């Protein structure tokens, strides 16, 4: 059974579904601080199977210990964390506490339980501001410029030390580029609780009339049309990369990092054009100054993931935009909360004692 922390969230929910489809059993741990419990029945509906799930925090060691007793977990996919760059600048301690402290707590609980296989959600932000594209896993350009990125780098460093200190660990570090899109069913997608900051969630709110215009940050970058270039990757491709990583880790000990990206860079205006093409909706644009902290361009060299994991992104930009738009139209306000009983920490403790 696979423990999926943050499995009610955007990427975690798609990964939980991909695991079900690959025949794995799943238990989700999520405190719902940026997600909805409504994701769980939808994962079950699409996967055709039940998912165990517990509402709780990765920083709660007692709860983690109970989970490892209660369920026959043999590997962990660790998505839980905070991810808003601007918020991390204003609230750094919250970010270090959850992203670094939470990951340390999880690893301690794993080692205590004798579970040593871990897939960690890292980010291309660990590469800092690079000028040489594409970025491969050995590229060293600098440091992340905000606490969110620092928290990912620090966690990677902590995991590397762990891998060196104890050969029982099998750790896959996955550096995501720009995940976008949604499940083609329209049942799973990104449903942030706060106002959107990222390009595609913002664009969807504009397309559906909930926001007046899409800000386009910067028109003077050294890119073909002057707007920022990124490697957008369909969230279903990303989720499938996690299943390949798990299969790899079952065969190989140690720690290894992989880029998960398409290897293609698209500008903001190219992405807007793709969205308009597939949706038939015209987007009002609001040209602005550069957003502080943004790099001009960033795209992956995904060769290592192809050669070692046998993984390659399949879905193109039009598919990403089409699936994102379907999700938005089917769920204009994201997931609707429905009344559904949540297993409490107390009942889990009782179950764990019963099992122990």
Partner whose binding site includes residue 32, from ligand NAD, ligand UDP, none (CB under 5 to 8 Å by kind): ligand NAD
Chosen residue from 9, 147, 302, 334 binding ligand NAD by CB under 6 A: 9
Chosen residue from 91, 291, 308, 316 binding ligand UDP by CB under 6 A: 291
SS3 314: coil
Taking alpha carbons only, the member of 240, 228, 246 closest to residue 176 is 240
Q: Please enumerate in sequence order all residues whose Cβ is within 8 A of that of 265, keeping only pairs 6 or more positions apart, or say none.
A: 133, 229, 230, 231, 297, 298, 299
Interaction of residue 34 with ligand NAD, rule CB under 6 A = yes
Q: Is 148 a catalytic residue?
A: yes
Q: Minimum distance from CB of 249 to ligand NAD (Å)? A: 18
Interaction of residue 198 with ligand UDP, rule CB under 6 A = yes
Give the whole-angstrom CA distance, residue 267 versus residue 172.
Answer: 30
Residue closer to ligand NAD by CB (options 192, 226) is 192
Chosen residue from 53, 68, 71, 79 binding ligand NAD by CB under 6 A: 79
Interaction of residue 295 with ligand NAD, rule CB under 6 A = no
C-alpha 34, offset from chain centre: 12
Interaction of residue 176 with ligand NAD, rule CB under 6 A = yes
Interaction of residue 58 with ligand NAD, rule CB under 6 A = yes
Q: Minimum distance from CB of 8 to ligand NAD (Å)? A: 4
C-alpha 234, offset from chain centre: 11
Backbone angles phi, psi at 209, to 5 degrees: 85, 10
Partner whose binding site includes residue 294, from ligand NAD, ligand UDP, none (CB under 5 to 8 Å by kind): ligand UDP
Catalytic one among 71, 96, 127, 148?
A: 148
Taking alpha carbons only, the member of 72, 40, 74 closest to residue 54 is 40
Chosen residue from 4, 17, 57, 279 binding ligand NAD by CB under 6 A: 57
Interaction of residue 61 with ligand NAD, rule CB under 6 A = no
Burial class (CB in 10 A: 0-12, 13-18, 19+), 284: exposed
Interaction of residue 87 with ligand UDP, rule CB under 6 A = no
Q: Please enumerate in sequence order all residues whose Cβ is within 8 A of that of 157, keeping only pairs 6 or more positions apart, or say none.
A: none
Packing angle, helices 61-70 and 102-113, rounded to 10: 40
Q: Minimum distance from CB of 39 to ligand NAD (Å)? A: 8
Interaction of residue 297 with ligand NAD, rule CB under 6 A = no
Taking alpha carbons only, the member of 17, 2, 15 closest to residue 115 is 2
CB 8 within 8 A of CB 79: no
Q: Which residues bind ligand NAD (CB under 6 A)?
A: 5-6, 8-12, 29-35, 57-59, 79-83, 98, 102, 121, 123, 176, 179
Which residues are tagged catalytic? 148
């Amino acid at each position: 059974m696979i423990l999926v922390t943050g499995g009610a969230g955007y990427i975690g929910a798609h990964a939980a579904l991909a695991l079900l489809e690959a025949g794995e059993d799943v238990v989700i741990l999520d405190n719902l601080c940026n997600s909805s419990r409504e994701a769980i029945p939808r994962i079950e509906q699409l996967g055709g199977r039940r998912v165990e799930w517990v509402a709780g925090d990765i920083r709660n060691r007692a709860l983690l210990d109970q989970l490892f007793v209660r369920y026959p977990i043999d590997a962990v996919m660790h998505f839980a964390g905070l991810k808003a760059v601007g918020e991390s600048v204003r609230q750094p301690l919250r970010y270090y506490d959850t992203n670094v402290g939470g990951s340390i707590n999880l690893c301690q609980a794993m080692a205590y339980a004798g579970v040593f296989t871990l897939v960690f959600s890292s980010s291309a932000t660990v590469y800092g501001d690079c000028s040489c594209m594409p970025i491969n896993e050995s590229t060293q350009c600098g440091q992340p410029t905000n606490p969110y990125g620092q928290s990912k780098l620090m966690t990677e460093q902590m995991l590397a030390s762990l891998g060196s200190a104890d050969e029982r660990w099998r750790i896959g570090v996955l550096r995501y580029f720009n995940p976008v899109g949604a499940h083609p069913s329209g049942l799973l997608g990104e449903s942030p609780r706060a106002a959107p900051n990222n390009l595609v969630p913002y664009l969807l709110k504009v397309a559906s009339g909930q926001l007046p215009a899409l800000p386009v940050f910067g028109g003077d970058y050294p890119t073909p049309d002057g707007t920022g270039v990124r490697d957008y990757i369909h969230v279903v491709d990303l989720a499938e990369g996690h299943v390949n990583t798990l299969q790899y880790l079952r065969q190989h000990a140690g720690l290894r990092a992989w880029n998960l990206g398409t290897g293609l860079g698209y500008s903001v205006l190219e992405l807007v054009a793709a969205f308009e093409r597939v949706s038939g909706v015209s987007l009002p644009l609001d040209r602005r100054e550069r957003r502080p902290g943004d790099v001009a361009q960033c795209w992956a060299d995904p060769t290592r993931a192809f050669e070692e994991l046998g993984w390659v992104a399949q879905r193109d930009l039009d598919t990403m935009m089409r699936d994102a738009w379907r999700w938005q139209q089917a769920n204009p306000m994201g997931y609707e909360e429905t009344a559904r009983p949540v297993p409490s920490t107390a009942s889990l403790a009782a179950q764990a004692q019963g099992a122990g």
